[in-house]
Chain A
């Protein structure tokens, strides 16, 4: 057993639902107890879909267990077929149905439905959401994709976008337009927007564009093996990666058509003098493997940040993330425990976090600016406006999204500089953190209290290998005394680096064996840690 409050990923059947909901004319029958329909609201609320996910649940109850859950499943399949007349049926079991050991695939096979029935094996107690999506997609391809002639015009498939995918809608639009510009037709985009009949046509493409390895890599590999289609390895997130992607596509397609990049503003925005202050900003990056790796490259090579931490929650991507981290001189954090992520962030004391919805909240708690780069995300990251992450417009979006909280940070700095003025109060907190921001902490006692509160907050869950007593406490504050003048001086430092300044100064004082911290100590420490 493993204690969890927050989970980065849902169970694998939710991944399969993401595939089914992304597609058209496909229906899924899920053998699941009453209550598992909660997953519908992820699609109708977070993604704001205007239709019910094409999923029927058997919703068995306790009284059914002794009787005929298999019969219930068959009835659900029949009803779903009769009502929705899909081109194909996906059948699967949720975690509870896995335990009662009805065999959805076998049961559906005996029914003789006039459409293909594709059974999914979803090991709910070992694997998670992304696996479920990847597996559902590859099984659909295996069952439906037929060998066929390549299209006369050079074409490709776009693989991986699903329902509930972070910016999948606009990434597909951006990359489709880019391919079109290069003279390459998009044969099928799948799973999102495809019907089973479209899946059958996957083999007609000359090559595949894999946008999201998490949800499409198995299908890309299978299509390479069975249909001889090569696939793109570059994820076109960021200006450089987009150019690399274009080069890779040229190699695969022979396209020589020029690409108009005049609307790409990100490189100039980053080069302009206003961006100089971004140099060396320390960022901590966490998310799914694909987005975290892409973000790390953009952060270092296109924004001039220093990446001080990188990790992912999906262990399927652990190997490439570890390799990239080594390239950055870091050790990758591969975990699905948000408390571990919180500790890593607290230790690294970054000036900015690029992460998921969860890291946004960690940032809020620690008073560190944060931008969201990866699922899981909440409703505000399924925006009405066009907001791709990929391609040239995606690069523009990334620049704005990442810099925005920092500009706000500078604004706060100015507010703090002028905080003695009657208009400003130190307690107001950063404007972009709303009313939830921790109040600026001024004394060691206060900050000790706050740290205790934060650890209590974050965690009803003690870390597995760490006794409660060892939980990070502002230990040095206890034996080093801050003189009032130094404390006042510390207050003048912008809130978003104040924690780091306090910590560094105390570390410096401890190293020097100083019992108290004066204004001089503060500035000596600053000089000592200057970079």
Chain B
């Protein structure tokens, strides 16, 4: 693969404002709490917030949830002083019941932000009260401030100031990856002779990384703008790289990290030859279905740009429009360089106008949220619902085939069912 002579970095971006069909940052809790095994996420919000978490968590809510909502009631809105006392009481109850909890996140919501409930002050006060066993942190996952995966960004950025200081030269991997993926990444880095490597977030509070002027960090997720800035402010230095999706993305990511540690790209090729060949073989199977197909991304997670890069370069797809909720120049730039000119790059959303564009373009596959997927299918457009891309292990070599298959499956299914015309009666 070669870099296109002209990528999309300088393509004019279509910026839209209007109705946005996206999740708020609270949704990040659903995967973050699985990753941080001794953390509890307490949303301070309304019944709507609790209902959202329940709808997003689906069946997971019955497993062993380490998240909940302190639902604001009429009396909390009447007088502000009371709200802090109420919160202290609920937190004390919670921590008494769950002695295994070491980190408690007070997560701000739209209602708590609008009434300006000072959760950072509450976090300080509660931290002092429950120290040293529990550290209480605060971030906002409100819809008015954060979109979907930005909730993770806000959470990690809130953790940065609380990290210990170090002078050690260490690599920090930033972004919550499924454990299996994280293990693969650590193994690849170890085989390249890169270490020590720490992760943010760590699986447990005791393993939290330290940072300092000799720390270098590599993002594994594209939605970590605020965390990127917070780490930089605390002296750590970013490694600029495309994201580790697909065989090419993973290789480029590893080469960028290796270069930082003085390891030649040839050495990376040597170490990764076998998994890269496996990944390419697995991708090739799915690419048969995907080659030449036109894809439209509606904004959701900020994964859209790296995924479009993977699908256009490694699976032979053609991107019609790549929508992202936010575009961060320094983070998305290396990805945009690799995408050949052609697609519309859009930031933000006016959902009705964007749907008009989808209908006009009639792409072979539309990546969108669950509120739009079935309605578009009913209009005869194949869709891939985007949320799955955040929950499913998709990074690095071993998952590259699975990642391509996620996009191929709806098309294969459509072909398999085409003998039977879908019976699309209005559901009621």
> Taking beta carbons and an 8 Å cutoff, which residues of A are in contact with B?
1-7, 9-11, 13-14, 22, 33-42, 44-45, 47-52, 56-62, 64-65, 76, 79, 83, 94-96, 99-100, 124-126, 128, 163, 169, 192-193, 361, 365, 378, 382, 456-457, 459-462, 464, 467-468
Contacts and interface: CB of A to CB of B under 8 A. Distances in A.
A462 B93 contact: yes
B113 A62 contact: yes
Contacts of A126: 73-74
A34 B97 contact: no
Contact of A125 (B25, B46, B68, B110): B46
Given A4-B71, A126-B74, A460-B97, A62 B145 contact: yes
Contacts of A10: 47-48, 51
Contacts of B40: 460
Given A1-B83, A44-B371, A76-B19, A124 B93 contact: no
Contacts of B145: 61-62
A35 B22 contact: yes
A331 B355 CA distance: 53
A95 B94 contact: no
Given A6-B61, A41-B55, A65 B114 contact: yes
Nearest to B110: A96
B370 A163 contact: no
Contacts of A96: 46, 48, 110-111, 114, 143-144
B64 interface: yes
A11 B143 contact: no
Contact of B48 (A36, A48, A163, A456): A36
Given A4-B71, A5-B68, A95-B111, A45 B428 contact: no
A52 B254 CA distance: 43
A506 to B, nearest CB: 26
A257 B302 CA distance: 64
A65 B111 CA distance: 12
B96 A468 contact: yes
**Interface size classification for chain B:** 35 or more
B69 A60 contact: no
Given A3-B90, A5-B69, A460-B40, A52 B371 contact: yes
Interface stretch (B184-192, B269-277, B373-381, B413-421): B373-381
A433 to B, nearest CB: 13
Given A34-B143, A62-B144, A1 B86 contact: yes
Contact of B374 (A11, A45, A459): A45
A77 to B, nearest CB: 12
B67 interface: yes
B329 interface: no
Contacts of A462: 93-94, 96-97
A37 B371 contact: yes
Interface in B60-111: 61-74, 76-77, 83, 86-87, 90, 93-94, 96-98, 110-111
Contact of A51 (B21, B87, B375): B375
Interface in B124-156: 142-145, 147
Given A40-B21, A193-B428, A52 B144 contact: no
27 contacts: A1-B83, A1-B87, A3-B93, A4-B50, A5-B54, A7-B54, A10-B51, A37-B21, A37-B22, A44-B374, A48-B427, A49-B374, A49-B375, A58-B19, A59-B20, A59-B143, A61-B144, A76-B19, A96-B48, A96-B110, A96-B144, A99-B114, A128-B47, A457-B64, A460-B65, A460-B68, A461-B93
A191 B65 CA distance: 36
Contacts of B58: 378
Contact of A45 (B65, B90, B98, B370): B370
B115 interface: yes
A60 B64 CA distance: 34
Given A125-B72, A125-B77, A33 B143 contact: yes
A51 B372 CA distance: 8
Given A2-B70, A33-B144, A462-B93, A50 B374 contact: yes
A53 to B, nearest CB: 8
A461 B71 contact: no
A169 B23 CA distance: 29
B352 interface: yes
Given A34-B143, A65-B144, A125-B72, A5 B370 contact: no
Given A124-B47, A124-B48, A462-B94, A5 B65 contact: yes
A10 to B, nearest CB: 4
A186 to B, nearest CB: 15
Most-contacted residue by chain A among B54, B62, B64, B70 (CB, 10 A): B62
A57 B144 CA distance: 13
Interface string B221-263: 0000000000000000000000000000000000000000000
Interface string B401-428: 0000000000000000000000010111
A418 B311 CA distance: 55
B370 A4 contact: no
A33 B24 contact: yes
Contacts of A1: 44, 70-73, 76, 83, 86-87, 90
A275 B70 CA distance: 47
Contacts of A6: 54, 61-62
A1 B90 CA distance: 8
Given A44-B371, A60-B144, A50 B22 contact: no
A14 B62 CA distance: 22
A9 B58 CA distance: 15
Residue among A41, A60, A65 with the most chain B CB within 10 A? A41
Nearest to B151: A35
B52 interface: yes
A35 B61 contact: no
Contacts of B65: 5, 460
A204 B115 CA distance: 47
Contacts of B54: 5-7
B369 interface: yes
A473 to B, nearest CB: 14
Contacts of B47: 4, 7, 9-11, 95, 124, 128
Contact of B68 (A4, A365, A382): A4
Contacts of B20: 34, 37, 59
A192 B428 contact: yes
Contacts of A467: 96
B56 interface: yes
A33 B370 contact: no
B26 interface: yes
A48 B46 contact: no
Contacts of B42: 3
Q: Which 5 A-B pairs have the closest CB atoms?
A: A35-B143, A35-B24, A40-B371, A50-B378, A462-B97
A209 B372 CA distance: 35
A5 B51 contact: no
A99 B47 CA distance: 14
Contacts of B73: 1-2, 125-126
A79 B97 CA distance: 50
A7 to B, nearest CB: 5
Nearest to B427: A49
A64 B143 CA distance: 12
Contacts of B87: 1
A41 B46 contact: no
A99 to B, nearest CB: 5
Identify which of B23, B26, B48 gathers the most chain A CB atoms within 10 Å of its CB: B48
Given A50-B426, A65-B144, A460-B66, A3 B94 contact: yes
A38 B61 contact: no
Given A50-B426, A62-B145, A460-B65, 8 more contacts: A2-B73, A10-B47, A14-B48, A35-B25, A45-B374, A128-B47, A460-B68, A461-B97
B368 to A, nearest CB: 11
B46 A50 contact: no
